[in-house]
């Protein structure tokens, strides 16, 4: 009988220890489970903005993007392309929050189509001519780009702002036969520089900021009487589902922090 009671007592002690361990394990797991739920909820609640931005603006915007995301606790999803391409994508998708492109005429087109709200000027996107290092062709301005023997690269007028502006500047200068020298047309301003770098062309019309910091080319200013300056414009989209946050991004683009980012990469900001 004593042996039976002894065995029964040992069995009860083991059972109590097992139940205590299970209880402690459950208490340990509960905070972790609760933490996971909280983290998932915060991730789901994190807001995002869809931004359409000109390809030539990528360097400053990527820097501004990091600062804005950190400050506001949001995520910016940015689509980079030529302004004409962006407008087409915007129309097709029917989604987006902010539109920022390299020239006001392109932005105004978005307004006419009922896609964008009023624009805010951010910085200058001034056209210039770039040539091969040494400028052996002796290009001194827009008037020289239609001379025989010049291989020229231009932006595609249907795809980007610099292409449209180039056409308007040639028209302003009364130069109608420049197309005979055009051997490359590109969708973005960055591709124009690549065409020059590979030796495919003698000259290209780009923006001053895109040539900033590059020592493997020469810069030729466009004659003041023919120059058409471009102004980078930004605004919210009418289809935005988060207008308040979108407007905060537009306002942030005019801040001292954002202006410093633009100036860092060769853009002259609009005061």
Binding residues for molybdate: 83, 189
Q: 103: which 2 tokens?
A: 């020239």
Sequence-ordered list of residues with C-beta below 8 angstroms from that of 53, at least 6 positions apart, any chain? 61, 78, 79, 80, 86, 100, 101
Q: Residues near 115 by Cβ (< 8 Å), separated by ≥ 6?
A: 87, 90, 91, 99, 237, 238, 239
CA–CA dist 162, 81 (Å, integer):
13
Q: Exposed/middle/buried for 78, CB within 10 Å: 0-12, 13-18, 19+?
A: middle
What secondary structure letter does DSSP report for 188?
S
State the SS3 of 257-268. Answer: HHHHHHHHCCCC
Q: Are 100 and 253 in contact (CB under 8 A)?
A: yes
Of 246, 269, 229, 222, the closest CA to residue 57 belongs to 269
Name the one residue in this structure whose structure tokens are 């489970």: 33
- Residue 226 CB partners (closer than 8 Å, separation 6+): 141, 142, 169, 172, 173
What is the secondary structure of 65-131 as a DSSP string?
A: HHHHHHHHT-EEEEEEE-HHHHHHHHHHH---SEEEES-HHHHHHHHHTT-B---EEEEE--EEEEE
Residues that constitute the known binding site = 83, 189
């Amino acid at each position: 009988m004593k042996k039976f009671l002894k065995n029964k007592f040992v069995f009860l002690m083991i059972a109590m220890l097992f139940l205590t361990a299970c209880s402690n394990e459950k208490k340990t797991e509960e905070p972790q489970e609760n933490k996971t739920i909280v983290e998932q909820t915060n991730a789901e609640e994190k807001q995002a903005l869809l931004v359409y931005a000109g390809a030539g603006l990528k360097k400053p915007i990527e820097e501004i993007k990091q600062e804005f995301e950190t400050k506001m606790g949001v995520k910016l999803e940015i689509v980079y392309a030529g302004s004409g391409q962006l407008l087409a994508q915007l129309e097709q998708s029917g989604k987006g929050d902010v539109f920022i492109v390299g020239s006001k005429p392109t932005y105004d087109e978005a307004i006419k189509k009922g896609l964008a709200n009023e624009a805010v000027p951010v910085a200058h996107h001034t056209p210039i001519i770039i040539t091969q290092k040494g400028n052996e062709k002796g290009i001194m301005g827009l008037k020289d780009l239609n001379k025989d023997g010049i291989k020229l690269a231009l932006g595609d007028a249907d795809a980007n702002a610099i292409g449209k502006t180039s056409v308007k500047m040639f028209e302003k200068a009364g130069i109608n036969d420049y197309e005979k020298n055009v051997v490359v047309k590109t969708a973005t301003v960055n591709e124009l520089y690549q065409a020059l770098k590979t030796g495919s062309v003698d000259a290209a019309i780009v923006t001053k900021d895109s040539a900033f910091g590059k020592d493997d080319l020469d810069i030729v200013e466009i004659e003041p009487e023919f120059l058409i300056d471009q102004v980078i414009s930004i605004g919210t989209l009418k289809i935005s589902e988060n207008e308040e946050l979108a407007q905060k991004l537009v306002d942030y683009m005019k801040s001292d922090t954002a202006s410093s980012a633009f100036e860092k990469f060769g853009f002259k900001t609009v005061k």
